[in-house]
Amino acid sequence: MSSFLSRAALAASSIAVLILSPMNPVLAAEVVDTHSYANSAEVRTTHLVIDLDVDFAKRRLKGVTELQFEKLKPDADRIVLDTRALDVRSAEASADGKAWAATKFVLGANDAVLGQSLTVSLPTGATRVRIVYSTKPEATGLQWLKPAQTAGKKQPFLFSQSEAIHARSWLPLQDSPAVRATYEASVKTPKGLRAVMSAEMSDQPDAAGRWTFKMPQPIPSYLIALAVGDIAFQSMGPRTGVYAEPATLKAAAYEFAETETTLAVCEKLFGPYRWGRYDLMVLPPSFPFGGMENPRLTFVTPTVITGDRLLVSLIAHELAHSWSGNLVTNATWEDFWLNEGFTEYLTYRLTEAQFGKARGDMERIIGVASLKTDFALAKSDEDRKLVRAFPAKDPDEVFSSIPYERGALFLVWLESKFGRETFDRFLRSWFDDHAFQSATTPQFIAYLNDKLLKAQPGKVSAAQIDAWISQPALPADTVYATSDALTKVDAGRDAWLAGTTTLDAIGAEKWSVQEWEHFFEGFPKTATAAQLKALDTRFKLTGSPNAIIASDWYKLAIDSSQAAALTPQIEAYLGHVGRMKLISPIYRALAATEAGKAQAKAIYKKVGSGYHPIAQQTVERILKGS
Q: Which helix (H) or strand (E) holds 48?
A: strand 43-55
How far is 437 from 473, CA to CA, in rounded Å?
A: 31
Is residue 522's pLDDT more than 70?
Answer: yes
What's the pLDDT tens digit per position in 570-594? 999 999 999 999 999 999 999 999 9
- Tell me the C-alpha distance between 436 and 181, whole Å: 10
Q: What class does CATH assign to 523-624?
A: mainly alpha
Q: What is the CATH number of domain 3-32+332-470?
A: 1.10.390.10
Is the pLDDT confidence value at 28 over 70?
Answer: no
Mean pLDDT over the full length of the chain: 93
Check residue 451 and report its DSSP letter.
I
The answer on pLDDT for 29 being more than 80 is: no
pLDDT-derived band at 443 (thresholds 50, 70, 90) equals very high
Any catalytic annotation for residue 404? yes
Mean pLDDT computed over 91-106: 97
- Find the mean pLDDT for residues 2-10: 33
Going by pLDDT thresholds of 50, 70 and 90, the confidence category of residue 397 is: confident
pLDDT at 23: 33
CA distance 499 to 497: 5
- 596 has a pLDDT exceeding 70: yes
Cα(510)–Cα(516) distance, rounded to whole angstroms? Answer: 10
Architecture of domain 36-230: Sandwich (2.60)
Say what the pLDDT of residue 27 is: 47
The letter for the amino acid at 229 is G
- Give the β-pairing of 200-201 and 210-220: antiparallel
Distance of CA 536 to the CA centre of its chain: 33
Q: Could you tell me if 162 and 176 are in contact, meaning their C-beta atoms sit under 8 angstroms apart? A: no
| Annotated catalytic residue, options 318, 344, 517, 521 | 318
The Cα 335–Cα 622 span in angstroms is 25
Residue 1 has pLDDT above 60, yes or no: no
- What's the pLDDT at 265? 95
145 contacts 231 by C-beta, under 8 angstroms: no
- pLDDT over 70, % of the chain: 95
Residues contacting 532, CB < 8 A, separation 6+: 556, 557, 560, 562
Asked whether 160 and 141 are in contact (CB, 8 A), the reply is yes
CA distances from 534 to 126, 502, 504 (A): 72, 10, 11
Residues forming CATH 1.10.390.10 domain(s) in the chain: 3-32+332-470
> Is pLDDT larger for residue 23 or for residue 84?
84
Check whether 262 has a pLDDT greater than 70: yes
145-172 pLDDT tens trace = 999 999 999 999 999 999 999 999 999 9
Res 398: pLDDT: 80
| Intervals of CATH 1.25.40.320 along the chain | 523-624
pLDDT value of position 453: 95
Query: How many CB atoms are closer than 10 A to CB 156?
Result: 20
What is the C-alpha separation between 390 and 334, in angstroms, rounded?
9
Catalytic residue among 133, 183, 404, 604: 404
Question: Cα Rg for the chain, rounded, in angstroms?
Answer: 24
Q: What is the mean pLDDT of residues 232-247?
A: 97
| Cα distance between residue 9 and residue 462, in whole Å | 17
Q: Report phi then psi at 178, rounded to 5.
A: -75, -15
pLDDT of res. 625: 86
Return d(Cα 527, Cα 26) in angstroms, integer: 53
Parallel, antiparallel, or unpaired for β 278-282 and 297-300? parallel
**pLDDT tens track for 310-335:** 788 899 999 999 999 999 999 999 99
Q: How far apart are CA 144 and CA 526, in angstroms?
A: 42
Q: Is the pLDDT of residue 14 over 50?
A: no
Average pLDDT over residues 452-475: 95
Interval 34-76: pLDDT, tens: 999 999 999 999 999 999 999 999 999 999 999 999 999 999 9
138 is catalytic: no
Q: pLDDT band at 442, cuts 50/70/90?
A: very high
Q: What pLDDT sits at residue 309?
A: 83
pLDDT at 2: 35
User: Which pLDDT score, from 0 to 100, does residue 588 have?
Assistant: 97
pLDDT of 3 over the 50 cut = no
- Residue 580 has a pLDDT of 95
Residue ranges of the chain that CATH labels 2.60.40.1730: 36-230
What type of residue is 341? G
pLDDT at 8 over 80: no
